Structure 1
Amino acid sequence: MSPQSFSLHPAWDRMYTSGMTVQEIADFTGRARSTVHRHLQVREDAGARLRAVHEAARLARGPDWPTTRWQHCYKAAQEFYKLNGRLPIDDDVAAEHKLVAWLDSQRATHRSGALSAIKVTLMDMIPGWEGTAPQTILDDRWRQRLEELVAFVAETGRMPRYKRHSSEHEHALGVWIHTQHQRRAECRLLDWRLAALDAAVPGWHSSM
């Protein structure tokens, strides 16, 4: 098999034939423009005939083309995965909550068949984006936060504060317990979580 008869970067090919320019591909992938250009040139020379498809797709770019806001959210999700090795799942953390909501909207649009080809191509570069986090993972993270809360109260003799906090760890715990208060008030706190909090930190819901 000739080294030019298959693509070393099939995702780049899909981006290009979806209408993305060489510069846009370079921006999305973090690779040098010259590297992307050379790859596409090699593919064209090998008979892949990508350029004609690219030109037609570029001229047909419509309102479903990724907006600046969409690109910003996408890059944030991509960067999160690179840094953490997983998709955002903890809706008790504000930064993750925003990404979770954005990913959920992409999944819903995709399931309805309305997510454009270029967006699907880009999303496919984030491993497992179509799936949802197993509930067991969310529950384990919640139990871990509860253990940290118990340890904090035992050490300091008080509940963590999310406003006048003395450390980032206290702030994180303060935000978490504040979220539990809100969910309890809205009747959205799961029964087993409410029981676990009542058992581990009696009177926790009267601390605010």
Structure 2
Amino acid sequence: MAPTKSPDSSRRSDRSRRAIYDAALALVGEVGYPRTTVEGIAARAGVGKQTIYRWWPSKAAVLMEAFLDLADRAAEEAAAQPGGVARGLPDTGDLAADLKLVLRATVDELNDPVLDGPTRALTAEGIVDAKLGAEFIGKLLDPQLALYVTRLRAAQEAGQLRADADPRIALELLIGPLFHRWLLRTLPLTHAYADEVVDYALGGLGVSR
């Protein structure tokens, strides 16, 4: 008789984690963060709630990890598309074109209904939960902002930005308006708007002629 192969526990754990991620994101999108519970996530994922508590201390931790995983997958899928933006900001030598490409991709992410609910939930909860807010910034926002800083410093070295410009403030001029418009939902968030933001920001940051 052929030996019986024992189940692969690591693969089973990966499937369970993926089911929990998907359940958490789906529930937050459907009923909002306050009404999402560990019990609801467990039922949706087809696992026991003790499985969730074995891996995460709270629903906030579940959602954080699920969202980070979703963001990673979205970035990989975007990079795989023709003309997609890979991790890191492009550096073609044309700063305006590079920034417009990245901000357009950001607009697409913010307008994605799959990402919208979880992003708003984490943003809102991070305001009242300082620990969650710090984790959200440290794990998600800061790594992305660092990519802008790197690209803007390269532009400074190439003489495309004022040498005394603070890259951190400069990036806030670029991404701040997008998040402001996304947060308030009063005006459409479009590629054309992203292009104008770049033009306005660089108009104030460019080297004087």
Give the TM-score taking structure 1 as reference length. Answer: 0.30
Which structure has more helix as a fraction of its residues? 2
The structure number with the bigger radius of gyration is 1
Give the TM-score taking structure 2 as reference length. Answer: 0.30
